[in-house]
Chains A and B, each alone.
Chain A
């Protein structure tokens, strides 16, 4: 019992010390809050105008596309049926078409004026039999869609650099060697680092989320508790990934390179800035191997589609898997 209490006492000491270090580093602390807010505002301004294409048509399959896609001002996306209909319900596309055995199945969003115009154009230009389907759902602005991406990106940078880079800095400066000469165990040290950074990451995310929502009123239709759970497990997954990178690395420069090699693909392929719908299969397969993808898929499902726990269980399960693997590697390979 006393050894458990001693262990908890040492973990708490490291946890508090790391938090103090972070809070007193006002430049880093401020930047963690200010940077994502600035990006959200910049994007809200940049993308506040009308979209470049007048209409967006999503085609399921690529065979014998309807004539309508040849009209100027019509952008065409090829996608799977389920994803296409999701996009339609968010009014990210105006019309969904599928050619089946010589007839044209199409769907429009009953709340979309653009959809109604495209439907008229389709009827006017198409000779084949038409089969109508309808969805509903409010339009989402780009800012509604991109906010989870920016929160996730901020979490990724905070988690990976705040743990990965800092632990390597401690090692390079000899601080870890000093800690090794105390009864502090690897597990206690690593756990304290994880908990400290998790607190920082969650607090920063909540402040940025609430602050930007008050000013921009972006879409949030799902459960706040579920969103917090995603942030908690997603944050843990990325923090443990940062620890795994730092567990043996001795050079800050090398750690910097490794962290960039991991964050850059996530930034491009996890759907921070743009959707990967319609991108090649292999790109989407790579994206599924990245923790940030699952954080963003789950967060968008909750924020934009009111998804429940069951809907995002796979994403959360995979994120838990990342946590177990990351922490396992860290504890096994960590060197003071």
Chain B
């Protein structure tokens, strides 16, 4: 895990007079699962947008293997957006076919259908999918072209505990494949289970960065939630709260 895939230096983003991201510096290594944590409005999604190449930074830079984004950067990344609508009246099968057609060498659809367990609802209108089914489909769509880097923006928000666990399994499989994963989440347990490295943001700035266990140990607290609360004064959501 030595190759730096993405290096971020002095990264900033402002909208008129609102500073969303303010001078971030960090590196993401190949095969790493990198977590961006923070309360609402911390700048997680904006940072993610700039790493994805979807948003232009106001200041600073993001470099891919030490260079500016190549022209085919979108072919190398897979993105699961926080809120994505799909075309009405299309099934998961239609969507997989559509998104596969955008790429020269997509993963065979059968493999994706098996990997993300889409068979049970393959021909259902996507508007009638459950939250978990929908997220599995969106993840499959993000991976149709076998990308090196996968961005997951709050992939389990709004899911029931079972669906959340299912999605963790899928993300763990992606990690095992050696892909670089970058995710944002509000859930501490999720961050602890899935992420190798965490960046905790507040008001667009870095509060803390490091491996989850190391951060907990150095802060002398029992868990990430307590650590986060002590840093920001705002609790993140515990899985138990979602269950209830």
Contacts and interface: CB of A to CB of B under 8 A. Distances in A.
Contacts of A184: 102
Contacts of A183: 72, 74-75, 102-103
A219 interface: no
Interface in B75-98: 75, 77, 79, 81, 83-90, 94, 97-98
A155 B94 CA distance: 28
Interface stretch (A170-178, A251-259, A261-269, A303-311): A170-178
A173 B52 contact: no
Interface string A1-27: 010001001101110111011001100
Given A25-B89, A180-B54, 12 more contacts: A13-B97, A21-B88, A170-B87, A174-B84, A175-B87, A177-B81, A177-B84, A178-B86, A181-B54, A181-B81, A182-B74, A184-B102
A18 B84 contact: no
5 contacts: A17-B94, A17-B98, A21-B87, A174-B85, A178-B141
Contacts of B90: 17, 20-21, 24
Contacts of A12: 101
Contacts of A20: 89-90, 94
A13 B106 CA distance: 14
B104 interface: yes
Contact of A181 (B52, B72, B98, B104): B52
Contact of B81 (A6, A17, A178): A178
Given A177-B81, A177-B84, A2 B101 contact: no
Contacts of A17: 87, 90, 94, 98
Interface in A182-236: 182-184
Interface of A: 2, 6, 9-10, 12-14, 16-18, 20-21, 24-25, 170, 173-175, 177-178, 180-184
Nearest to B72: A183
B83 A174 contact: yes
A181 B79 contact: yes
B86 A175 contact: yes
A335 to B, nearest CB: 12
* Max chain A Cβ within 10 angstroms of own Cβ: one of B75, B98, B104: B98
B116 interface: no
Interface of B: 52, 54, 72, 74-75, 77, 79, 81, 83-90, 94, 97-99, 101-104, 141
B74 A175 contact: no
A13 B81 CA distance: 21
Contact of B98 (A13, A24, A25, A173): A13
B144 to A, nearest CB: 9
A21 B75 CA distance: 26
* Max chain B Cβ within 10 angstroms of own Cβ: one of A6, A10, A20, A170: A20
* Max chain B Cβ within 10 angstroms of own Cβ: one of A6, A10, A180, A182: A182
Nearest to A12: B101
Contacts of B81: 174, 177-178, 181
Given A181-B52, A181-B54, A173 B74 contact: no
Contacts of A178: 79, 81, 84, 86, 141
Contacts of B77: 181
A69 B86 CA distance: 64
B82 to A, nearest CB: 9
B89 A14 contact: no
A173 B85 contact: yes
Contacts of B84: 173-175, 177-178
Contacts of A24: 89-90
A174 B90 CA distance: 16
Nearest to B144: A182
Contact of B54 (A6, A18, A177): A177
A14 B52 CA distance: 23
Contacts of B98: 13-14, 16-17
A226 B146 CA distance: 49
A129 to B, nearest CB: 72
- Lowest 9 CB-CB distances: which A-B pairs, in order? A173-B85, A13-B101, A24-B89, A182-B102, A181-B79, A178-B84, A17-B98, A21-B89, A21-B87
A18 B87 contact: yes
Nearest to A16: B98
Contacts of B52: 181
A51 B79 CA distance: 65
Nearest to A13: B101
Contacts of A18: 87
A16 to B, nearest CB: 8
Contacts of A13: 97-98, 101-102
